[in-house]
Structure 1
Amino acid sequence: MGSALYQYLCCICVNLCTVGYGISVGWMASAVVVYDSDASPLPTGRVKMDEIGWIVSILGIGGLIGTVAVGWLSERVGRKSALIAMAVPQIISYLLIIYAQNVYYLYASRFLSGFVGGAVFVVIPIMVAEIAEDRIRGTLCTILVLGSTGGVLLGFVAGHFLDYSETPRISLMFPILFIAFFSFMPETPYYLMKTNRMEEAEKSLRFYRNISPKAAVSDNKTFEHELSKLKYSYTETQRKDTECSSSSPLKLSDFFNRPFAIGCTLMVAHETCGGFTMCAYAAMIFSKSGSTMSPGISAIIVGAIQFLGSYVSALLIDRLGRKVLMVFSFTGTGISHVVLATYIYLASSTNINLQAFQWVPVASFSAMIFIASCGALPIPYVIVSEILPDKIRSIGTTFIFCISWALTFVLVKIFPPLFATIGLHSCIFMFAISCFATVVYLLLFVPETKGKSLDEILIILKAK
Structure 2
Amino acid sequence: MFTAFRISSTYRQYMVAFIANFSTLLYGISVGWVSPTVPKLMSVDTPLPIGPITVEQASLISALLYIGGLVGSLSFGWLAGRIGRKWALFCGTVPHIFAHLLIIFAKSFAFLYVSRILSGLGCGATFVALPIYVSEISEDRLRGIMGAIFCNMVSMGLVIGRALGSYLDFYVVPYAVLVVLAIFVIVFPMFPETPQYLLLKQRDDIAEKSLRFLRGVSRDLKVPMPVAVQDEFNALKSSPTLSNQSLSISLADFRPLATRRAILISLVLISGRSLCGVLPLDNYTASILVESGSNWSPDISAIIVGIFELVGSNLAIFFIDRNGRRVILIASSLGGALFITLLGSIFFAKSYFNVDTSSFSWLSILALGGFMTLAAIGMVAIPLSVSAEVLPPKLRSLVCTTFMLLYWAMTFAIVNFFLTFSNIVGMYTPMWLFACWCLFEMTFVYFILPETKGKSFDEVALELEGKRNK
TM-score of the superposed pair, with normalisation by structure 1: 0.89
Gaps of 5+ in 2: 1-5
- For residues 355 and 29 of structure 1, the distance between their equivalents in structure 2, rounded to whole angstroms, comes to 21
* 1:256-304 superposed Cα distances (whole Å, 9 cap, x missing partner): 9554334323333332211121111111112222111111111111111
What is residue 367 of structure 2 aligned with on the other side? 364
Q: Does the CA contact (< 8 Å) of 2:350 and 2:357 recur in 1?
A: yes
What is the CA-CA distance between 1:47 and the residue it aligns to? 1.2
Number of residues of Structure 1 aligned to a counterpart in Structure 2 = 459
1:97 to 91, 95, 103: 103
Is 1:22–1:151's contact at 8 Å kept on the other side of the alignment?
Answer: yes
**1:345 counterpart letter in structure 2:** F
Q: Is the 8 A contact 2:293 2:356 kept in 1?
A: no
Structure-2 change in CA distance of 1:91 and 1:393 (3 Å): closer
Structure 1 residues 236, 46: CA separation in 2 closer, same or farther (over 3 Å shift)? Answer: closer
Q: CA distance change for structure 1 residues 129 and 379 in 2, over 3 Å: closer, same or farther?
A: closer
- Matched with 2:244 is 239
Shift of 1:363: 1.1
What SS does structure 1 have at the residue aligned with 2:330?
helix
Separation of aligned partners in 1, 2:361 and 2:25: 33
Please report how far the alpha carbon of residue 369 of structure 1 lies from its aligned counterpart in structure 2 after TM superposition: 0.6
List gaps (5 residues or longer) in structure 1: none
Q: State the distance in 2 between where 1:112 and 1:44 align.
A: 22
> What is the aligned partner in structure 1 of residue 383 from structure 2?
380
For 2:267, which of 264, 269, 283 is the aligned residue? Answer: 264
1:384-425 residue CA offsets vs partner (Å, 9 max, x unmatched)? 334446775543332222221111111001112112222222
Aligned to 1:40: 46
Structure 2: how far apart are the matches of 1:440 and 1:222? 38
Q: What's the C-alpha RMSD, in Å, of the aligned pairs?
A: 3.0
Structure 1 segment 26-175 matched on structure 2, within 5 A: 26-175=32-181
Distance 1:216 1:415, change over 3 A: same
Q: What SS is found at the alignment partner of 1:291? A: coil
- The 5 A counterparts of 1:170-189 are 170-189=176-195
Aligned to 2:234: 228
Equivalents in 2 of 1:357, 1:401: separation in Å? 39
CA distance in 2, matches of 1:266, 1:130: 20
State the distance in 1 between where 2:223 and 2:231 align.
9
- How much does 1:435 deviate? 2.4
Q: How many Å apart are 1:172 and its aligned residue?
A: 0.8
Q: 1:416 aligns with which of 397, 414, 419?
A: 419
Equivalent in the alignment of 2:3: none
TM-superposed CA distance for 1:461, in Å, is: 9.2
SS state at 2:44 partner: coil
- TM-score scaled by structure 2? 0.88
Q: Tell me the alpha carbon deviations over residues 202-246 of structure 1, each in whole angstroms, 9 at most, x when there is no partner.
A: 33333333333458433643443344344434x86242448975x
Code of the residue aligned with 2:244 in structure 1: it is R
Name the SS of the counterpart of 2:264 in structure 1.
helix
Distance 1:365 1:300 in 2: 12
Counterpart CA distance in 1 for 2:307 and 2:343 is 19
Q: Shift in Å at residue 40 of structure 1?
A: 1.7
- Distance change (3 Å), C-alpha of 1:151 and 1:457: same
Q: Does 1:337 align with 2:340?
A: yes
> Does the 8 Å CA contact 1:66/1:116 hold for their aligned counterparts?
yes
User: Residue by residue, what CA displacement relative to the aligned partner does 1:5-52 show, whole Å, maximum 9, x if unpaired?
Assistant: 443332222222221221111111211111221122222211111111
The one-letter amino acid of 1:288's match is E
Letter aligned with residue 201 of structure 1: A
